Every structure is written in C-alpha cells, then in structure tokens.
Structure 1
Amino acid sequence: MKPDARLTTGPIGRTLLLFTLPVLGSNILQSLNASINSVWVGRFLGEAALTATSNANIILFFLLGVVFGISMANMNGQAVGAHNLDHARRVVGTSTTFFVAMSVLASVLGFIYTPDILAAMNTPADAAPLAVSYLRIIFLALPFMYFYNFVMMTLRGAGDSRTPFWFMLLSVVLDVALNPVLIFGVGPIPALGIAGSALATLIAQLVSLAAMMVLLYRRRHFLLLHRAQLALLLPDAAILRALVVKGLPMGLQMVVISSSAIVMMALVNAYGSQTTAAYGVASQLWTYVQMPALAVGASVSSMVAQNVGAGLWQRVSRITRVGLVFNVAMTGALVALIYLFNRHSLGLFLGTDGVAIGIAQHINVVVLWSFILFGFTIVIFGTVRATGAVMAPLVILFLSMWVIRLPFAWTLGPRIGADAIWWSFPVGSVVSLVLAVGYYRFGNWRRSHILPTGPHPAEAVGQAPDTSMGTPCEDAGPVSDEAEAATPEAEGVR
C-alpha cells in the first residue's frame, strides 16, 4: 500500500471534506459510546457507580489527552508529503518504542496507586470502592488505548482517515454490546458489575487494535515495520527529542482545558442545583456542537503537514481558508438547529423541570454562537501545529481561559450574577480568535518543523509561504504541483 497523493495534489475542498467526514464520524462514535455506557451504569448500577465512572473517566481523559498531544506531534505528514518514507518509518519505529514504554509505565503506576489517585480527587466514599475496581481495569487497558490512538493518528497523518473510522466503529459496537453482557452476566459469564463495563472497554480496544494491525499488514502499508526493519525500533535521539518537545505543549493543553473546566464548574455550583443541572445539560449539547470544528481542525492539520513537506505553501493557505468555510457551514448549521429547537433539545435531558430548562435556554442563547468563533481558532491552530509551532496555541489557550474567561466570570459574578459565567465563553472565544489570527498573520510558525527532516522543497527553490487567508472562492479546483512550484511569493506577510 503506497502513500495517497490526494492530500497534496487533489482539489482542496473535496479532498478536505472527504478526509473530515470519517474524523467527524469517529468523534461522534466516541461520544455516543461514552453516553451509552453511562446509561447502562447509571440506570442499572446506581448513582454511586455512575459517580465512580465519572471520576475514573476524568483521569482517563487526562492521560489520553497527553498522549493525544504527543501522537499529534508524532504525525509524520511532512515526511510523507516530501516522499521521505525512510524518515517516516524511523519516526514510526522511535514512536512505537516510546509509546510502549510510556504506556506500560503509566499502566503499572496507575494500577498500584489507584486508591491514592481517587483519594486525592476527593471521590465520594460510597463510590470509591467501585471506582477502584473500574479504574484498575482501565489502567490494564491503557497500553492498548495508547497504542490504538497512536496508530490511528499515524494513519491520519499519512493521509488515511477512513481506516481509523471503521475500526473505531468496530470498537464502539463491541463495547456497547459487551457492556450489558459483562455487567449482568449471561450463561456461563458471571455478573461483574461495574468491572464488567471496564472489561468491555478493554476487550473492545484489544480486538479492534489487533484487527486493524492484521489488515494493515495484509495491505502492506508503507509505514509498517517488517523483520528487516526492526532496528528502527531503537530510538533515534533527534526524533525522540522532537516528539517530547513538540508533544508536551500539546498535552499540556489538555491540562489547561480540564483544570479550567473544574474551576468553572465550581463557579456554576455556587448558583444552586438547578443552574448546575442546566449548565450540565447545555454542556452535553456543546460537546456535539464542537465536533465539526475539531474534525475540520484535525483534517486541516493532516493535510497541511503533507503540503508543507511537499513545499506547496500556496495550498497551505488555501486549505486554511477552505477549513474556515467548512467550520461556518458545519458548526453554524448545528448552532442554528439548536437555536431553532432550543427548548425541545434541552427537554430530552431535563424532562419537565421548567426552571432548569429556562436557565439552559438562556445559557444557549448567550453561548452557542461563540462556538463558530471557537471553530475558526481550531482551524488556524490546526494549520500552525502542522508545521510544529505548538507553543503559541498553548499560550493563547491559557490566556483566553485562565487570564480572560475565568477572571471575567469571577470578577463580574457579584454584579451580574450567573450571566458573568455565560458571557465569559464568548469573551474568551473572541480573545483566542484575535490572538490566533494575529499569530497566523505575523507569527514565525512557517519556520517551524515537527521533526528534523531538513530543508523544505519550497525553501530549496527560494519559495516562501503564502500568509493570507484571502477569499475562500479561490479554490476553484485542483492545482498541479508544477503550477504551485512556479508561483514564488514575497517573503513575509502580504
């Protein structure tokens, strides 16, 4: 199986859309899987069990978030775009060793210190024993989850978003089907309770990972290592250093997001249980509203990485513009749909609680539109991260959440009440977008590199990147490599 050149030669709009849809599907599947599992646990095992899984999932979200950041830095799209497959395989070899070592270490330490971790989180006493049982099995599954995410992100970086989608679908179907079987027991299978839910996740991840690897070897995927290439598993110092230096800032973004969410929840709790319930339900809807932007941002990042590797800088700016248009169309459509059916969508969660529904409706009116701005920021971040510029997005995220959003909500709370919290979301989104656009236009992200791959082809012929975000309609169809290479642009910002 050879590299797919469509990300660097195909029509930008159509190629980006076809790449984005499987990524979006994977995101939706993951959220639906979590929701369905929560229904099984909450309805049939009780509130204590649901609290246990919620506490455990916070830890899992953090651990996978850090790995997701590092695996994003590992994506070798630049090497694939430059047709430097030997270097791409060296990246895969070093990353494989790194991920295996890190995941096993995290699994062992997590298993041993599970009670201490949960105690530090102030897990309620009635949920603590259940949480220990659940989380220890999750820690056993962690190496498979780590490697599963690593393989999927590597495939996407190489231009394949469909294969990860199909195996995510397999994993979700297995997880959903096994949950009731292992929770309640069937025939010779004993009832395992909450441990059964965690075991279902372990089995689903392991089977899906094994099946994906079998298929990739049968297809003779160009990034797989064979017996003659096992020496590539010995870590390359330069690649390893780049993975850590580029990956840790991206992993730290999960720390910024999760920690600010905890503080925000504390602020919301001060206004009573009905406000908290309304905020919680609105947040459930926001999870789905954000999915298109996250999928488009991830797809833009994969596509940009390959085009940077190929030296096609004019396509980089056009990919960004098309991504921004896709965000408006997809995120905007969801926002409009929820505005249109605001009360009905909230009623699915809140039933007949008219007070909470009214509060949640007001929250949506204030906050929902700002997710279109959030999507713009994510697309721009996707572009700059693809070159290896990871510190600026981290700093912008920290400033918008910890320097702007939280102080805004806390300072104005005594004057305007809970509205200070709701308006802090649009304010933070505006600030992050302004900073992101400023960095895109005037920052030095074009000189960054994810990995030490040598000079870009564009640099070799004296080209410099296009920095404008111009009008999206410029994407009228495919542009040949020769045409791109024949269009030098002035250095710097136009």
Structure 2
Amino acid sequence: MCGGRTPRAANGPGKDNRGGDTMAQAIGKEGIDLISGSVPKAMALFAIPTLGSSVLQSLNGSVNAIWVGRFLGENALAATTNGNIVMFLLISFVFGFGMAATILVGQAAGRRDDDAARRVMGTALGTIVPLGIVIAGVGWVAAPWLLDVLGTPEPALDLALAYLRVIFVAMPATLTFTLTMMALRGTGDSLTPLWFMGLSVAVDIVVNPVLILGLGPVPALGIAGSGLATVIANGVALIGIYVTIYRRGSVLALRGRDLRHLIPAGDILRAMITKGLPIGLQMIVISTASLTMLTLINREGVITAAAYGATQQLWTYVQMPAMALSAAASAMAAQNIGAGQWDRVSLVTKWGIGFNFALTGTTIAVLTLFDRHALILFLGADSPAVPIGRHIQLMATWGYLFFGVAQVLFGTMRSNGYVIAPLLVMVVSMYPVRLGFAFGLYPVLGEDALWLSFPAGMVATALMAAWLHRRGTWRKGSVMPAGEAARQGCADRDCGSVDGAGTDLAPATGYRQIAAE
C-alpha cells in the first residue's frame, strides 16, 4: 500500500489514522456538502455566509469612514482612501495565496484526503506568518515613499502617514486571518468565517470612536486610532477563530506530528506559488491600475478625492455578491473536480452567473435610488463632495453587473489551476482598456473619462472571460484524480516507502502535478 501511514481503506471510508473527525464528518458538521444534492441550494447556502462576511467587512470600513469623515474631516477621509488602497495592494498577495489554499483544500475535500488538507494548511501558515512580519517592518519604513508615489494631496499627507503605519502593524494578523477564512471555505465551511468576521467588525466599530475621539480615560489618537482599532479587532478575531478550529477538531487543526507541516513543504509551496501568484497578481493589477487612477483623481482636488473615496465605499457593497459567488464557484468546482464530477462543475458556473444577475442587479438598482442618502453618511449633507459622488456613481456603477459575470467565470476556471490566461485578461482590461480610456478620452470628456473607464474595463473583462471559458482549455486537468495519483505513485516506487523525513508521498502527488502545469 502506498504511503507510510495507514491508508483510508483500512479504517473505513473517510477515516484517517489520527482518529477524530474525518473530512466527510467535518463537512457535515461544520460546512456544506458541495459534491452532492442540489447545486443551486448548495451554492446559496455557501455564498450567503460568504456574502455576509463581505457585508460585515464592508460595513466595518464604512462605519470607520463615517467616523473619520464626520469627526476628522474630508482631509482625513482622503487620507484613509490612500492608505486603504495600499492595504488592498498588500492583501492582494495573500488573496492569491489563500485562494490557492482554498483550491487545494477543496480538491482534497473532494478526494476525502484529510492529510493533504493539513499539509496545505501547514505550508500556508508557515509561509504567510513570517512574511506578514516582514511586510509590517518594511511597510513602516517605506510608508512616506508609498504616499509620495500615490501623489497624496498635501493637506492629507501627515494624516495618511499616521494611518498607513498603523495599518502596516496590523498586517501579520490581517493576512493570517484572511488566509484562515479562505482555507476554511475550501472545506465547505463558510459559516465559521462569518461569525469571526462579525466579531472583528463588532470590536472595530466599538473601539474606533473610543480611540479616535479619546472617550473616557483613553487619549484621543485621531486617525491613528482608527488604524489601531483595526489592529485590535483583527487580533481578537484571529485568536477566536483558532480556538474554534481546535475545539471543533477541524480537519485543518494541526496537532502532534502534524505540526511539522508548519515547515513549508516544497511541493505544496511550489503549487501555491505557481497557482496563487497569478491569482494575487490579478489583484495587484487591479490595485496598481487603481493607484494610477487615484493619481489622476487626486489631481482634481481633495473634494473630488473625498467624493471618490465615499463612492468606493458604496462600490464595495455592489461588488460583494459577485465576490461571494466567485468564492462559492471556486470552492464548489474544486471539490467536484476532486471528486471527478464535471457535470456539476458546469451547473456551478451557470447558477453562479444567474445568481449574479439577480443579486448584483438588485444592488445596483437600490443604490441608484438611494445614492444621495448613502453618500451623506460619509460626507455630511452640506458637503460639496456629495453631488460629485452621485455623478460618479451614476456614471460607473452599472459596470459591476459585468464584473460579476467575469468573477464567476474566473472562479470556476481557477478551481482547476487555470490562472495565467485570466491574469492576462486583467492586464489587458485594466491597462490598455481602462487606463487607455481614462488617459485617451480625458481631453474630450474631462472627469467623465475617469468614471466611464471603470465600466469600460469591466465589460472588456467579462467578454474576454466568456471567450476563455467557452474555449474549454481550462478543463484539461491540472490535478490527477486521487485513484490515478495513488496508482501512478505506486507504479513509480515501492509502495509503502517514505521519504527521508518520514512523511508519506502519496498525498503530495497531486500537488506536484499542479506545480508542474
């Protein structure tokens, strides 16, 4: 028999040598069975908690923006806009890394391979935690340079520096928390991330005004207090989610011999980098394009920059259904690919697009009707930025309907390790299309060229994503089915042998195949 551990068959279906919960039991207890039953029902049950997590996260950012904008003024709001874009750029990397973990954990779940899931989790944590510490240190030193590159308006510069440096301090906890939530979703558990995102938001909302305004014995920290509240909230939520993972006996909990997986395994790390880096680069492409757009918007003055910052808060809500459905498509497709059920993968894509039209379309319609009321929350009723924000919203928000289509298609394709072509699509849609539109038509349309460039890029992304999906090359497997992988491994070596470290090689076979693609 392959591998140095007792195989699953010896313990019955879905059992491992460790005792405790199996992957199948963990899905039933903590998550959703994504490989059987109704596809739309499973997608709804998975996507709703994911959407709830996004709503809470965006609500947190919105409430913080309200505190900052109403109590510290428009310069402070513009400062947080610049700082948050830098934070998004940094989180982009862990998003790609975390999505690779989601895919690998999801395919392990489909194969009912618990040890493979723990190997992925250990490697992910053993990489992202020290990396987060390095980012925090380098970011603190480089913050003034970053803000200078952004062309941050002079009135907001000192505020932006104070805010950004505290945000960098929060990076290790923020990145680890994000990675853990994504890995849990790979097992089919989208509910636990919701609870602890809720905890993070609750702590942040309560602590934010205390630190900003200096309530009670706490000194007033101003904009730095907003950043410090994020540090505290993420730390509390991170501790809570890991206490829960271990108390439940989650398949991702590392105990005893499994702690050795915290030393990154070369084969899994290569797979994560090979597949995660292009996914992260997609986000970085979006971020760098946004940074370039922000430099153009900053030239229009602090009022326009504040209006754009408030509009961005609204856009986070508009894009949430698409991002939740994309995450659901990735997790569901990954598990069904692991289980060899390609007919369900096609259904996942179709239902994801259908849900997008319903949910994103409704969100856009509601926002269009109540945009003034929403903007006033961030800017105040008498702010001159309100009419500018309304104009931005009306010109650009409709494009998110196409953004949602692209995200569902990308979510399905990346579940099988198809990540390079989607990256190229993002490069084309963000640079030649969006920035080309903004720069090229600015002399003709003025500021409207900036706002219309957003839907122009989204429509282009959706059209190219549909073409890639229809071509079908993404279906050519990047991961060997479990049975084939095991047979191939036994054919290539004396079954029962172990590597020099004493770990079995069978669970890694599929990951080597991914990395080699």
TM category, shorter: 0.7 to 0.9
1:174 aligned residue: 203
Of residues 470, 476, 479, the one that matches 1:441 is 470
* Correspondence for 1:194 among 204, 215, 223: 223
Say if 2:78 and 2:305, in contact at 8 Å, map to a contact too: no
Q: 1:363, 1:123 → 2: CA distance?
A: 20
Tell me, in whole angstroms, the C-alpha distance in 2 between the residues paired with 1:305 and 1:114.
38
Shift of 1:57: 2.1
Query: Which one of 208, 217, 222 corresponds to residue 237 of structure 2?
Result: 208
Work out whether residues 33 and 176 of structure 1, in 8 Å CA contact, stay in contact via their aligned partners in 2.
yes
Counterpart position of 2:8? none
Equivalents in 1 of 2:368, 2:109: separation in Å?
Answer: 43
Segment drifting more, 94-103 vs 194-203: 194-203
Q: What does residue 357 of structure 2 align with? A: 328
The structural deviation recorded for 1:458 is 9.3
Moved more, 419-428 or 269-278: 269-278
CA contact (8 A) 2:49 2:194 kept: yes
* Map of 2:41 onto structure 1: 14
- Give the 3 Å change call, closer, same or farther, for CA 360–209 of structure 1 in structure 2: closer
Paired residues of 1:182 and 1:200 also in contact (CA < 8 A): yes
Q: How many Å separate the matches in 1 of 2:26 and 2:427?
A: 37
The residue aligned with 1:88 is 117
In the alignment, does 2:24 pair up with 1:24? Answer: no
Instruction: Please state how far the C-alpha of 1:440 moved relative to its aligned partner.
Output: 0.7
Tell me the distance in 2 between the aligned counterparts of 1:102 and 1:279.
32
* Structure 2 equivalent of residue 70 of structure 1: 97
What is the SS of the residue equivalent to 2:220? coil
Match of 1:228 in 2: 257
- Secondary structure at the aligned position of 1:146 is classed as helix
1:404 to 425, 433, 440: 433
8 Å contact 2:93–2:277 — kept in the other structure? yes
Quick one: which of 459, 464, 476 aligns to 1:430?
Answer: 459
The one of 308, 332, 336 equivalent to 1:307 is: 336
Indicate the larger mover: 378-387 or 329-338: 329-338
State the AA in 1 paired with 2:119.
R
Q: Identical aligned pairs, as a percentage?
A: 47
Note the C-alpha offset of 1:170. 0.4
> Residues 282 and 112 from structure 1, CA distance in 2 versus in 1: closer, same or farther, beyond 3 angstroms?
closer
Residue number among 406, 410, 434 corresponding to 1:381 in the alignment: 410
The 5 A counterparts of 1:408-423 are 408-423=437-452
Compute the displacement of 1:70 (Å).
Answer: 1.2
Aligned equivalent of 2:481: 455
Bigger drift between 112-121 and 300-309 goes to: 112-121
Distance 1:271 1:27, change over 3 A: same
Query: For residue 244 of structure 1, what is the aligned residue in structure 2?
Result: 273
Corresponding residue number in structure 2 for 1:54:
81
State which of 187, 191, 202 in structure 2 corresponds to 1:158: 187
Corresponding letter in the other structure for 1:3: A
Which residue is 1:290 aligned to?
A: 319
Give 1:256 deviation, angstroms. 1.4
Change (3 A) 1:281 1:130: closer
Q: State the Cα distance separating 1:121 from its structure 2 match.
A: 3.9
Q: 1:106 aligns with which of 135, 144, 157?
A: 135
The root-mean-square deviation of aligned C-alpha atoms, in Å, is 2.9
- Counterpart-to-counterpart distance in 1, 2:254 and 2:353: 37
Query: Please, which of 48, 66, 71 is the counterpart of residue 44 of structure 1?
Result: 71
**1:265 to partner: Cα distance:** 4.1
Unaligned regions of 5+ residues in structure 2, if any? 1-20, 488-517
* Aligned partners of 1:68 and 1:150 also within 8 Å: yes
Paired AA for residue 462 in structure 2: L
Tell me the distance in 2 between the aligned counterparts of 1:115 and 1:315. Answer: 50
In 2: Cα distance, 1:124 partner to 1:267 partner: 11
Does structure 2 retain, via aligned residues, the 8 Å contact 1:269–1:275?
yes
Match of 1:474 in 2: none
After superposition, residues 473-492 of structure 1 pair within 5 angstroms as: none
Instruction: Tell me, yes or no, if structure 1 residue 142 matches structure 2 residue 142.
Output: no
Moved more, 257-266 or 209-218: 257-266
Answer yes or no: is the 8 Å Cα contact 2:339–2:481 preserved in 1: no
- Alignment correspondent of 2:16: none
Mark the runs of 5 or more structure 1 residues left unpaired by the alignment: 462-494
Q: Which stretch of structure 1 is more off in the superposition, 322-331 or 40-49? A: 40-49
Using structure 2 for the length normalisation, give the TM-score.
Answer: 0.80
User: In the alignment, is the contact (CA less than 8 A) between 2:74 and 2:302 conserved in 1?
Assistant: no
Alpha-carbon distance, 1:269 to partner: 6.1
Q: What SS class does the counterpart of residue 92 from structure 1 fall into?
A: helix
The 1-side partners of 2:86 and 2:117 are apart by 32
Deviation, structure 1 residue 238: 0.9
Work out the CA distance in 1 between the residues paired with 2:298 and 2:262.
49
Q: Which moved more, 1:348-357 or 1:238-247?
A: 348-357
